[in-house]
């Protein structure tokens, strides 16, 4: 955590199983139901949506972390009973809506992973932009074992990270990846020692928060759309986005700072 920045409570109306605080320009959302391994009930999913839709305007990046030894055991299985087909569809669409606010929300999001990152917990992590995994992290999609299917966006987001074949393997066989295997296949960008994930995530989020807002906007809003577009449309969108970003006063000032020797070099990081 950057020195001299004491966390402050962030005033957002959240359910008991979520907590929010700020560290400078970074907001930290904590899954706070460790006794149930941070399993996500409806209140938590709606709380995540509320958090991202009511973030103060001066917040420039977000970290999602968790209390206890596990990031998230996925869907709260105790809420599954008695759900009929239509309410099942609505339930899944609620998760989609909430996690869309993470992936295509106002600011970049870093997740600090540890222990179980399974089922809906992996779906939550997959909606974030940077994943930092402590060595204790393991990933699984146990939906196959429970007789259900993913419903929080995994079939769209996880194949983008690891491919359909690996996701099918996780679901068909109940296979787990450990932290190193997860990083090797693309589930996390960073593997760190146990107990350091939150500090590393806050450091990364602070660095992200210092980027120009138009660049962060382009990275989270334009890049994934361009990557999935046909090349002709992709090049066109890239040209539009590049021109919008470079036309800002902020970009001009940053480039001038470099030319005048006032800005960091690539090798300074």
- Among all residues, which ones are annotated catalytic? 123, 143
Q: For 136-234, where are the E strands, in sequence order?
A: 138-140, 177-178, 190-192
Look at residues 177, 119, 175, 114 and name the one whose alpha carbon lies nearest to residue 147. Answer: 119
Contacts of 51 (CB under 8 A, 6+ apart): 12, 14, 18, 20, 27, 29
Residues 216-235 that bind ligand 1HE (CB under 6 A): none
Length of the chain: 269
Binding characters for ligand 1HE, 89-108, by CB under 6 A (x = yes): ---x--x-------------
Quote the distance between the C-alpha of residue 176 and its chain's center.
20
Kindly state whether residue 36 participates in binding ligand 1HE, applying the rule CB under 6 A.
Answer: yes
Q: How many residues bind ligand 1HE (CB under 6 A)?
A: 22
Region binding ligand 1HE by CB under 6 A among candidate stretches 74-82, 198-206, 240-248, 261-269: 74-82
The rounded distance, in Å, linking the Cα atoms of 55 and 65 is 17
108 or 119, CB closer to ligand 1HE?
A: 119
Task: Rule CB under 6 A: say whether 75 interacts with ligand 1HE.
Answer: yes
**Residue 45 Cβ, how far from ligand 1HE at the closest point, in Å?**
8
Q: Which CB sits closer to ligand 1HE, 64 or 116?
A: 116
Closest CB to ligand 1HE among residues 21, 135: 135
> Residue 243, Cβ neighbours under 10 Å: how many?
9
Shorter beta-carbon distance to ligand 1HE: residue 80 or 242: 80
170 binds ligand 1HE (CB under 6 A): no
- Residues 31 and 44: their CA atoms lie apart, in Å, by 8
Q: Reduced to 3 states, what is the DSSP secondary structure of residue 136?
A: coil
- DSSP for 65-133, please give it: EESSS-SB--B-GGG-TT--HHHHHHHHHHHHHHHHHHHTSSS-EEEEE-SEEETHHHHHHHHSSEEEE
Report the nearest approach of ligand 1HE to the CB of residue 78 (Å): 5
**Minimum distance from residue 213 beta carbon to ligand 1HE (Å):** 32
Instruction: Rank residues 49 and 143 by Cβ distance to ligand 1HE and give the closer one.
Output: 143
What does the DSSP 8-state code read for residue 39? -
Where along the sequence are the contacts to ligand 1HE (CB under 6 A)?
36-37, 39, 70, 73-78, 92, 95, 116, 118-120, 142-143, 146, 150-152
């Amino acid at each position: 955590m950057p020195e001299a920045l004491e966390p402050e409570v962030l005033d957002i109306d959240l359910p008991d199983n979520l907590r929010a605080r700020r560290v400078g320009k970074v907001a930290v959302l904590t899954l706070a139901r460790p006794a149930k391994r941070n399993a996500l009930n409806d209140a938590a999913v709606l709380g995540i949506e509320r958090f991202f839709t009511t973030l103060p305007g001066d917040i420039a990046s977000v970290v999602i972390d968790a209390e206890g030894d596990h990031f998230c055991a996925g869907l709260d299985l105790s809420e599954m009973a008695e759900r009929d087909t239509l309410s099942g569809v609505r339930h899944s669409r609620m998760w989609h809506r909430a996690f869309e606010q993470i992936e295509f929300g106002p600011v970049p999001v870093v997740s600090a992973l540890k222990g179980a990152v399974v089922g809906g917990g992996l779906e939550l992590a997959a909606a974030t932009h940077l994943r930092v995994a402590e060595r204790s992290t393991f990933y699984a999609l146990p939906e196959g074992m429970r007789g259900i299917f993913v419903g929080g966006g995994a079939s769209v987001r996880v194949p983008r990270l690891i491919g359909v074949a690996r996701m099918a393997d996780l679901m068909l066989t109940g296979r787990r990846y450990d932290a190193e295997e997860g990083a090797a296949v693309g589930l996390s960008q960073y593997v760190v020692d146990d107990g350091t994930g939150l500090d590393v995530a806050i450091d990364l989020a602070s660095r992200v928060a210092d980027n120009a807002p138009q660049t962060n906007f382009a990275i989270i809003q334009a890049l994934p759309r361009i990557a999935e577009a046909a090349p002709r449309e992709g090049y066109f969108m890239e040209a539009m986005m590049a021109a919008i970003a470079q036309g800002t006063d902020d970009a001009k000032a940053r480039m001038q700072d470099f030319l005048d020797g006032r800005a960091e070099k690539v090798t300074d990081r």
